[in-house]
Structure 1
Amino acid sequence: MGFAIRPGERVMSAVRTVLGDLPAGELGVCDAHDHLFLRSPLLPGQELDDRDAAAAELRAFRELGGGTVVQWTPRGMGRRLAELPGLARETGVHIVAATGLHQAVHYGPDVLERVDDGLMESFIADLTTAPVRAGLIKVAGGFHGLDDHARRTMAAAAGAHHATGAPIAVHLELGTGAMDVLDLLCGQLGVAPGKVVLGHLGRCPDTRTHLRAARAGAYLAFDGPSRAHHATDWRLFDALTALAEAGHADRVLLGGDTTTAAARGGPGMPHLLRVLRPALAEELGEDFVRQVLVGNPARAFAADWPR
């Protein structure tokens, strides 16, 4: 199933990929939240650090019609930026990289001591002058709220957004705290809701919050097949149906969110297109599938980048 933006469909100017800026209409089918490389002290022995395995995932995604993968791995978590352009060229998949910072628990004291020291400038440099440039800013909330670390990193992310136009992608811990994030980023820090992508909403099946966030204008990412500790698959269809029936299909994004080496032996990136895409087409129709896999990411991840 190949898709492209239809003539006359409005998208913003470009998505910043690791090979340069790409007209948003050329993204194709998009995995809106995934990881090719990832390292965290919370996941000892489960690092995503195998280049061959990353290439195999991208090729499998491409063979099923995939066009773009958005890697949400932020600074200090083994994102391996230098590897990404070669992978994009070899596999034919566009890759969008991230700057930003995750929750404090993912870092040692050497990183955390520098959180207030030029963080916004580091994000801006990653987005505008680095040899391999990021195309989004990844930050994270806490469980049902925001701690001081989250507030500081989100303030830096908002500053970098205002300087560059880059979208901000937010890890919501177990899918919670969406409105706290929007209150801070959009209400206090002046980020337009349409420049915010809220991740992991499928992990908290709170339809009222989903609808509030969609009405506010944010993008809602439902990312990842069920893990052993959070059964989300059956709830996903209920959540997406509720959003579609309320007229918010234009706010939905889908992703795989592969985070551990063990997950590479499971569904992986291809699951999004091999299993989920046909099931959604049967349930909600081809137009819905095309919108959430192609049209929505083309708008969510595009910006008028400074030259």
Structure 2
Amino acid sequence: MIRTVLGELEPERLGVCDSHDHLFFRSVLLPGQELDDAAAALAEVREFAAAGGQAIVQWTPHGLGRRAEELPAISTQTGVSLVAATGLHRAEHYPEGFVEQVRPRLAEIFHHELTVGIGNSSVRAGLIKVAGGFHRLDEHATFVMHAAAEAHHATGAPIAIHHELGSAADAVLDLLVDTLAVPPTSVILGHLNRFPDARAHRDLAKRGAWLAFDGPSRANNATDPHLLDCLAELIDAGYGDRLLLGGDTTTAKARGVTGEGPGMSFLLTTLRPRITREFGADTAELIFRRNPARAFAW
């Protein structure tokens, strides 16, 4: 099953999916660009649905303004399935003292949010989102990944990773898969478009993990022109069945309806047609429908 904010969903019913995005997000690193407007979030999902979207996987973790109580109504009003996340981001995204406060009970928090509810809501998370460091795993990332692995083994929930500028994905697999015994099919490696190294991507795919390319982006626009080349290398190597694509909208400015865009719908109005022309309808179906149905299943 896939755990959505409205309950469990059979994977084949997930439909056309944005595999990495944010409806609500608040970070001390992005002052003035908070995603905290419920009306704007609803409008963004409606536009995504009008473009043919049927599911959005949110990667906003614990403590970053997820607004979980708003998500069921947005899902109900739009008909779009939403997956919420637990987990913890890099320490610098949080106010001073927050990480130290939650650290002693991190695995307990993850487990509670996966099985009982997020905060005071009954909305359960369907994903554990954590983060690595730039070309290495620091002490914070290592501790958080141990907690994520513990929660995974207790529940079966998949683990999605933010890789800083797309780096250190090999170190993540060394820890989560080789040391902590998380199956590679339960690991989703994010932001790989930000490190457009085809050889590295093929090596990661060989290890059995999911490869998520999160574009288009605003903050990392220099890597966007490499997106289709990265996908082509992996598809040609036989790894089309390991690929995921998401929009990763992290600022109000990046919303399509109330900001400057490109917004979530760009995935379906612009990128999906290009992927279909370049690689064929079957590959587009893999990336937007069939792969997410497998990647986010427990």
| TM-score, structure 1 normalization | 0.93
Structure 2 CA distance for aligned equivalents of residues 112 and 277 of structure 1: 38
- Pick from 262, 271, 295 the counterpart of residue 267 of structure 1: 262
Q: 1:115 touches 1:153 (CA, 8 Å); kept in 2?
A: no
Give percent identity, aligned residues only.
Answer: 60
- Pick from 113, 116, 133 the counterpart of residue 103 of structure 2: 116
Tell me whether 1:140 sits opposite 2:140 in the alignment: no
Quote how far apart the aligned CAs of 1:112 are. Answer: 1.5
Q: How does 1:32-181 map to 2 (within 5 A)?
A: 32-130=19-117, 131-181=122-172
Change in CA separation of 1:229 and 1:122 when aligned onto 2, cut-off 3 Å: closer
What amino acid does structure 2 have at the position aligned with 1:266? G
Q: 1:98 touches 1:137 (CA, 8 Å); kept in 2?
A: yes
- In structure 2, the residue matched to 1:235 is 226
Quote how far apart the aligned CAs of 1:107 are. Answer: 1.2
What amino acid does structure 2 have at the position aligned with 1:123? F
Structure 2 CA distance for aligned equivalents of residues 159 and 225 of structure 1: 33
Q: 5+ unaligned residues in a row in structure 2: which ranges?
A: none
Quote how far apart the aligned CAs of 1:116 are. Answer: 3.3
Structure 2 CA distance for aligned equivalents of residues 98 and 239 of structure 1: 27
Structure 1 window deviating more from structure 2 (279-288 vs 219-228): it is 219-228
Secondary structure at the aligned position of 1:78 is classed as coil
- Pick from 216, 219, 234 the counterpart of residue 225 of structure 1: 216
What amino acid does structure 2 have at the position aligned with 1:161? H
Quote how far apart the aligned CAs of 1:230 are. Answer: 3.4
Question: Aligned pair count?
Answer: 290
Secondary structure at the aligned position of 1:43 is classed as coil
Structure 2 CA distance for aligned equivalents of residues 269 and 128 of structure 1: 28
Q: 2:217 touches 2:247 (CA, 8 Å); kept in 1?
A: no
Change in CA separation of 1:228 and 1:122 when aligned onto 2, cut-off 3 Å: closer
Structure 2 CA distance for aligned equivalents of residues 254 and 56 of structure 1: 21
Q: 2:14 touches 2:81 (CA, 8 Å); kept in 1?
A: yes
Quote how far apart the aligned CAs of 1:209 are. Answer: 1.1
Quote how far apart the aligned CAs of 1:191 are. Answer: 0.3
| TM-score, structure 2 normalization | 0.96
What amino acid does structure 2 have at the position aligned with 1:256? G
Q: 1:35 touches 1:72 (CA, 8 Å); kept in 2?
A: yes
Quote how far apart the aligned CAs of 1:120 are. Answer: 0.4
Secondary structure at the aligned position of 2:97 is classed as helix
Structure 2 CA distance for aligned equivalents of residues 186 and 58 of structure 1: 34
Deviations 1:253-272 (A, max 9, x none): 00000000111121100000
Secondary structure at the aligned position of 2:181 is classed as coil
What amino acid does structure 2 have at the position aligned with 1:136? L
Q: 1:224 touches 1:258 (CA, 8 Å); kept in 2?
A: no
Structure 2 CA distance for aligned equivalents of residues 237 and 214 of structure 1: 16
Deviations 1:148-182 (A, max 9, x none): 00000000000000000000000000111110000
Q: 2:194 touches 2:220 (CA, 8 Å); kept in 1?
A: no
Tell me whether 1:285 sits opposite 2:280 in the alignment: yes
Tell me whether 1:248 sits opposite 2:239 in the alignment: yes
Structure 2 CA distance for aligned equivalents of residues 269 and 113 of structure 1: 34
RMSD of aligned C-alpha atoms?
0.9
- Pick from 197, 204, 212 the counterpart of residue 213 of structure 1: 204
Secondary structure at the aligned position of 1:28 is classed as coil
Q: 5+ unaligned residues in a row in structure 1: which ranges?
A: 1-13
What amino acid does structure 2 have at the position aligned with 1:48? L
Q: 1:75 touches 1:100 (CA, 8 Å); kept in 2?
A: yes
Q: 2:136 touches 2:171 (CA, 8 Å); kept in 1?
A: yes
